Amino acid sequence: MKKNMSYMDSVHYYGRIWGLILGALIIAVPLVLCIAFSAVPKWDALVKGLIATLPMYWAVGFIEIFTYVPMLGAGGTYLSFVTGNISNLKLPCAVDAMERAGVKANSEEGEVLSTISIAVSSIVTTAIILLGVLFIVPIQPILENPVLEPAFEMILPALFGGLGVVFISKNVKLSIAPIILMLVLFIFIPALNKGTVGIMVPVGVLFTLGVARIMYKKGWL
């Protein structure tokens, strides 16, 4: 790393390095398994599977760059892309932290705070997963209790509901269009479910940006 490098330059420097390392590790896992078990995939089936799924993931990945960077800042985006679980964990943590501090993601304070909040979230998540692995057997009867099952199913809706109230209350007029869009999509398209949240978040953000621009041009905002 060059001397006298600014904070943002260091963010991009290390972000690119860790992004490349992560990409190499992701590719290395199937390669190592193939070598260890002397197993070679059926290339025709692999190509067919990639043709069916790759365009969607490339599109989502492209959209997420333009969606998450303005919300998380550069450092938060690099870190969240490396650690994963963005839409239902890292994004709410970063947005809530910046909201409480009254800073924006495009400010230096927001950059630092977003990165710290995502880092803490990653550490806490890892610690909880570790504890879960260690104590899964003793607490399994509790987790599988039918009385608690509805509560576990409502964790994510409760999390996003709390965040939604904060942002909707700031601009009720702007929130109407994306709420109607998501209700229509999830009600009338059965294929959309909780497994498609990662795809629908960028779609909703881009749709909201388009609607906001139209409303701003017409003087409604």
Q: Maximum distance among all alpha carbons in the chain?
A: 65
Q: How confident is the model at residue 20 (pLDDT cuts 50, 70, 90)?
A: very high
Classify residue 194: in a domain, yes or no: no
Q: Please work out, in degrees rounded to the nearest 5, the angle formed at the alpha carbon of residue 12 by the alpha carbons of 11 and 18.
A: 90
Q: Would you say residue 159 lies in a domain?
A: no
Whether 75 maps to a domain, the answer reads no
Distance, CA of 60 to chain centre:
11
Spatial separation of the C-alpha atoms in residues 6 and 4, rounded to whole Å: 6
User: Is 134 contained in some domain?
Assistant: no
Does residue 82 belong to any structural domain of this protein? no
Going by pLDDT thresholds of 50, 70 and 90, the confidence category of residue 198 is low
Which residue range forms the structural domain that includes residue 28?
A: 1-40
Q: Is residue 9 part of a domain?
A: yes
What token pair was written down for 24? 């190499």
Q: At how many degrees (to 10) do helices 7-36 and 108-143 cross?
A: 40
pLDDT(91) > 80:
yes
Q: Is residue 4 part of a domain?
A: yes
In a domain, 49, yes or no: no
pLDDT single digits (tens) 167-185:
787 788 888 998 899 888 8
For the chain, what is the domain count?
1
